[in-house]
Amino acid sequence: QLNVSSDGVALVFSMILAHLSARRVAGGMWSEPPVFARLHHEMSQGMLGFKHARNVTDIPFPWPWKQVSAYLIVTFMAVFPFFSAAVRLVHYDAAWLPLLLTFLVILSQCGMYSTASTLEEPFDNHPNELPCAMLQTVGRCEQVAREGMEAGRRSIRDYS
């Protein structure tokens, strides 16, 4: 079922809720109705959070915004030190304060640009990111292999 489903997360969510409801009706899980309703509510809230997180990847970050931000940062880096020097000459005796403020403001602007670049492609594989989907697939294959080996050992013990 999971391999042919277009939304595997929603399928697993509905299977869990159906299993919990069936188990409660069968008497295998006794709880007060408000507690059981709260369980359903919390699981629905988790699913809602997942849907909101999925929107980050479904709605692309606007490319023109990123380009205009890059242009403004370069312009800001070229012009702001001159304004800072002019203000220093008129208002301050300490030469280090405008330089520090210039550095911090430009650093924050570059950080916002880097954030915009990351939001444009949030889940691509950078060299420092783990390939989670591949590791999950490999881990599942190893788990199936271990379960198969354990089943084989049990069946050998049963025949001996």
Count the neighbouring beta carbons within 10 Å of the beta carbon of residue 29. Answer: 14
- Model confidence band, residue 160 (pLDDT cutoffs 50, 70, 90): very low
Instruction: Specify the pTM.
Output: 0.43
DSSP class of 4: T
Distance CA(53)–CA(105), nearest Å, equals: 30
Highest-scoring range by mean pLDDT, 16-25, 27-36, 87-96, 99-108: 16-25
Q: What is residue 86's three-state secondary structure?
A: helix
Q: Give the CA count within 13 Å in the CB-facing half-sphere of 133.
A: 3
pLDDT reported for residue 33: 83
Q: What is the pLDDT of residues 74-102, one digit of tens each?
A: 888 888 777 777 777 776 666 677 777 77
Specify the residue for token string 């594989």.
125
Task: Please name which of 65, 74, 82 lies closest in space to residue 106, comparing C-alpha atoms.
Answer: 74
Q: Are 101 and 84 in contact (CB under 8 A)?
A: yes
